[in-house]
Amino acid sequence: MTAVAPRVIGQSSSRNRPTYQKVAIIAFIVITISGTLTGIMTFVNGDGNESFLHQWTSAFVFASLIALPIGIIVMSLVSQLIHALLSSATDHFKNLIIGIVMALLMESAMAASTAVSQVGLSNLNQLTAEWSQNFIAAIPVGLVIAILMTLVVKPKLQAFMKS
């Protein structure tokens, strides 16, 4: 008598997923998160002088080219630091802390990049005010995204990347 193991839909036991699928998933997640957060920040600070789409596109491109690459490096460093400082904590707890710290850091960086794209660097007081409004507007969404990413998406994404 032979036992037949059920095959889970979506899992392939004989081949790995192509690299382009893995890159596409990561790109989709990054674009969605970056676009959402810069959109919130741009909407909150819309001054009516330019169209929303133009301001948002400028902020999104700036955040994607400057803030996100730096964020990837910072996330690696934060992860190493949290794992070193909280070595006895559970992986779940460490990942949650990493998510919260990264939300705070990335919201700060994206708020800065959005503020710079909206007001430039000539008026520091206006830049600081724009950054503050951007950060306060986006941090609740950023924290929700960080927690969802940490608790739901990251484990599934890690399994997907291993396949």
Q: Is position 10 within any domain? A: no
Determine the Cα–Cα distance for residues 132 and 56; give it in Å rounded to an integer: 17
Q: Is position 27 within any domain? A: yes
Determine the Cα–Cα distance for residues 107 and 114; give it in Å rounded to an integer: 10
Q: Is position 59 within any domain? A: yes
State how many domains the chain has.
1
Q: Is position 44 within any domain? A: yes
Q: What is the pLDDT of residues 92-137, one digit of tens each?
A: 899 889 889 988 988 888 888 878 877 888 899 999 998 999 899 8
Determine the Cα–Cα distance for residues 23 and 141; give it in Å rounded to an integer: 25
Could you list the residue range(s) of the whole structural domain that residue 152 is in? 19-162
With CA atoms as reference, report the closest residue to 115 among 104, 127, 124: 127
Q: What is the pLDDT of residues 51-69, one digit of tens each?
A: 888 888 888 888 788 777 8
pTM score above 0.85 = no
Q: Is position 14 within any domain? A: no
Q: What is the DSSP letter of 15?
A: -
SS3 at position 9: coil
Q: Is position 98 within any domain? A: yes
